[in-house]
A and B are shown apart, each in its own frame.
Chain A
């Protein structure tokens, strides 16, 4: 099986908005409303940001938003802050054989 495809890196200045894409197939991202996004600061536990394509868990800032179009999901971070500098991973349910596929990961740099 193949991982979902994310850009290796995305950068932006404080206050700007950035978008990270997560490209899959009609067997995973495009077939289920079950894409999730995780923020990961190195050395710490990854944190859930978005689930079911666009829902935010309680306690997650509304600066983080998720969307999906066809086989591609996206995470948008608005009002970029220095603390947003981290790695971001998408994940999709992919059926009863592959179960869960993660993305290749994106490093976000705040300039």
Chain B
């Protein structure tokens, strides 16, 4: 049974870089059946897809964040990571990692999420 778990700092200062890691267990991140994605939910708002990465390292992102976001994969550790540069208070959110099943474009397994607050 595939499981995902986010980790990273809960507090980031404005203008700095937010860095999160998602550990994948119960399956291989090198599976060709999946992309691996990041989704966030600001307080009181809906979910927002941030971006996704394939085990090859190929990634794609939402246009609104594209210039500040990078997503990478470490197959040796079965992990993938998110970096958001130059953060502001608007980046305060619960961040989720999820597996994206390529055959159906669906996020089928999610982590529990980690709250990240941007504040000085």
Q: Which residues of A contact B (CB under 8 A)?
A: 1, 3, 6, 32, 34, 36, 38, 43-48, 51-52, 57, 89, 91, 93, 97-105
Contact = CB atoms under 8 A, between A and B. Distances in A.
B62 A45 contact: no
Contacts of A45: 96, 109-113
Contacts, number: 71
A52 B104 CA distance: 7
Given A45-B110, A46-B110, A48-B108, A99 B62 contact: yes
Contacts of A34: 104-106
Interface of B: 39, 45-49, 52, 60, 62-64, 96, 98, 104-113
A12 to B, nearest CB: 21
Nearest to A106: B46
A93 B107 CA distance: 11
A36 B47 contact: no
A36 to B, nearest CB: 5
